[in-house]
């Protein structure tokens, strides 16, 4: 039997209500050479019922009889994926229409084995934690770039780029050769508690180079039962947080002693990096974590959470201080900078209710899903696909920045071509949508035109 070109891998646990829409975004791709592996982490019968109700021969259903740590469930899921390229997506996320057609074309042209792409975002109507509800974020398509992944790793651990800048087994297409190489070197694919972040460093290190496609091919979802929302924002279900940590502890996944165990993305990223370093390149000093920068990023992350009260702030500061007990000079610096004379700034996260604003910026479009009659990831994916359908082909602009340019990448990418793509995006949406959507576009047109004019004249 011929192996498929692509494997969608969807690890899931007790999210049947979102899973069905995620699966639809995969099943309805206008491309045939793929399989879908749904790995059910000991969920209730509702998950299997959703899979059966779709009646798709492309779905391969796998179930664990006991609850597994997230990384172990991902490990099980990947063991059943036989496609040449693997794409892991969450059970409340989705692929954009024609994503596989675009990837197949791109791979035929480049023969790339590690491909990362821009992602849209959707905040489900039931999301909690002070986040905006039923909102859509669409990045304006941009250039595609060939990147030195070792330099990219350095830029991430220096705090110059987000971990999502790297290739990983999530919102990326990774060739089975790279996955097999990782497993051969370390004995298993995942050796950290957050498998997506772990593989961003592990795959990045092994691949050496990767492509970053500036055109969105998938959409990340934040739902009411999202692990990320539950662990990083108030309002998330406490049971999800407790179970996540309990299963990780049982499986032997722990925080590195030099990383403060607090609910901040920067600490999770640092923890996974150190586990990858220990497993793959323990003696390579060129990949050294800047602990001072880590602490600055930790504090900045905590300031995004409007649910943190004074007592909780004090607890987190104490945990950070304790993590520096092996370095007296660094600990004294922290005490002076963040305990004795520091007041939290309390800046809201971009997707919070108080920070969200509909409209167009220089690089993104922000929309209210309700006003476009959106209520799930499949509908949001379809809308995003219509917005970007008339942009330039991502294969036509491929560059390789020098290593010194990695830290400035995001700034360099916001050029006049991006503004042109913004116009094309809005024009394409106008052409392919009906009267209701066009009326809504008129409502935001004033802000759109004003912003674009100011951006063009500023250039």
Res. 386 pLDDT band, cuts 50 70 90: confident
**What's the confidence (pLDDT) of residue 198?**
98
**Quick one: what percent of the chain has pLDDT higher than 90?**
65
Mean pLDDT, the chain, as a whole number? 86
**What's the confidence (pLDDT) of residue 359?**
82
Q: Is the predicted pLDDT of residue 414 greater than 80, yes or no?
A: no
End-to-end CA distance of the chain: 55
Residue 336 belongs to some domain of the structure? no
Angle formed at CA 289 by CA 285 and CA 335, multiple of 5 degrees: 135
Res. 431 pLDDT band, cuts 50 70 90: very low
More confident residue, 24 or 311: 24
Give the model confidence (pLDDT) of 227-255 as tens digits: 888 777 654 567 888 899 999 999 999 98
Residue 317 belongs to some domain of the structure? no
As a three-state string, the secondary structure of 56-102 is CCCEEEEECCCCCCHHHHHHHHHCCCCCCEEEECCCCCEECCCHHHH
**What's the confidence (pLDDT) of residue 306?**
63
Q: Is the predicted pLDDT of residue 454 greater than 80, yes or no?
A: no
Residue 327 belongs to some domain of the structure? no
Give the model confidence (pLDDT) of 76-106 as tens digits: 999 999 999 999 999 999 999 999 999 999 9
Domain count, the chain: 1
**What's the confidence (pLDDT) of residue 171?**
92
Q: Alpha helices, DSSP H only, in 32-143?
A: 45-54, 70-78, 99-110
Give the model confidence (pLDDT) of 286-299 as tens digits: 999 999 999 999 99
Radius of gyration (C-alpha) of the chain in whole angstroms: 22
Residue 182 belongs to some domain of the structure? yes
User: Could you tell me if residue 40 is left (phi over 0), alpha (psi between -120 and 50 degrees) or otherwise beta?
Assistant: beta
Residue 118 belongs to some domain of the structure? yes
Res. 425 pLDDT band, cuts 50 70 90: low
243: domain CATH number? 3.90.550.10
Q: Is the dihedral of CA 123, 125, 127, 130 positive or negative?
A: positive
What mean pLDDT is predicted for residues 250-264? 92
Res. 1 pLDDT band, cuts 50 70 90: low
Give the position of tokens 């494997």: 7
Could you tell me the pTM of the whole model? 0.88
Q: Which residues contact 297 (CB under 8 A, 6 or more apart)?
A: 159, 264, 266
Query: In 3-state terms, the chain is what percent helix, strand and coil (to 5)?
Result: 50, 15, 35
CA distances from 36 to 65, 191, 380 (A): 20, 24, 21
Contacts 24+ apart (CB under 8 A), 60-63: 60/35, 60/36, 62/37, 62/38, 63/39
Strands 364-368 and 398-399: unpaired
Residue 176 belongs to some domain of the structure? yes
Residue 258 belongs to some domain of the structure? yes
Cα gap 349→131, rounded to integer Å? 8
* Residue span of the structural domain in which 97 resides: 1-308+344-459
Residue 146 belongs to some domain of the structure? yes
Q: H or E segment at 447?
A: helix 435-458
Kindly provide the b/e burial profile for residues 32-66, where b requires at least 16 CB atoms within 10 angstroms of the residue's own CB.
eebbbbbbbbebeeebeebbeebeeebbbebebee
């Amino acid at each position: 039997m011929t192996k498929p070109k692509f494997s969608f891998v969807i690890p899931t646990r007790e999210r049947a209500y979102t899973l069905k829409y995620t699966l639809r975004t995969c099943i309805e791709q206008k491309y045939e050479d793929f399989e879908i592996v749904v790995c059910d982490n000991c969920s209730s019968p509702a998950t299997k019922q959703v899979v059966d109700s779709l009646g798709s021969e492309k779905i391969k259903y796998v179930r664990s009889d006991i609850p597994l740590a997230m990384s172990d469930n991902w490990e099980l899921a990947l063991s059943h994926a036989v496609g040449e390229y693997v794409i892991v997506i969450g059970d409340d996320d989705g692929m954009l229409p024609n994503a596989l057609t675009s990837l197949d074309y791109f791979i035929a042209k480049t023969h790339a084995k590690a491909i990362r792409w821009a992602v849209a975002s959707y905040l489900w109507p039931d999301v909690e934690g002070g986040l905006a509800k039923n909102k859509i974020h669409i990045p304006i398509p941009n250039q595609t770039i060939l990147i030195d992944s070792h330099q990219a790793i350095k830029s991430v651990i220096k705090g110059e780029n987000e971990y999502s800048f790297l290739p990983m087994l999530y919102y990326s297409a990774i060739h089975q050769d790279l996955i097999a190489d990782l497993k051969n070197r370390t004995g298993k694919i995942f050796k950290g508690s957050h498998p997506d972040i772990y593989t961003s460093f592990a795959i990045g290190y092994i691949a050496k180079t990767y492509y970053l496609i500036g055109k969105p091919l998938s959409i990340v979802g934040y739902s009411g039962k999202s692990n990320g929302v539950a662990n990083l924002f108030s309002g998330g279900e406490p049971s999800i947080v407790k179970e996540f940590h309990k299963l990780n502890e049982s499986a032997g996944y722990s925080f590195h002693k030099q990383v403060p165990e607090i609910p901040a993305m920067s600490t999770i990223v640092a923890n996974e990096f150190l586990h990858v370093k220990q497993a793959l390149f323990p003696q390579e000093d060129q990949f050294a974590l800047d602990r001072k920068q880590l602490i600055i990023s930790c504090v900045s992350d905590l300031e995004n959470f409007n649910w943190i009260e004074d007592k909780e702030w004090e607890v987190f500061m104490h945990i950070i201080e304790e993590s520096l007990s092996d370095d007296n000079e660094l600990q004294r610096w922290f005490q002076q900078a963040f305990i004795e004379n520091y007041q939290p700034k309390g800046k809201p996260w971009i997707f919070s209710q108080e920070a969200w604003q509909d409209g167009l910026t220089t690089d993104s479009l922000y929309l209210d899903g309700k006003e476009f009659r959106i209520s799930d990831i499949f509908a949001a994916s379809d809308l995003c696909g219509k917005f970007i359908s008339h942009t330039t082909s991502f294969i036509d602009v491929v560059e390789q920045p020098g290593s010194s340019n990695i830290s400035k990448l995001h700034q360099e990418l916001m050029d006049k071509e991006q503004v042109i793509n913004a116009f094309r995006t809005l024009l394409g949406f106008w052409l392919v949508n009906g009267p209701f959507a066009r009326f809504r576009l008129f409502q935001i047109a004033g802000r759109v035109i004003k912003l674009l004019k100011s951006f063009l004249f500023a250039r």
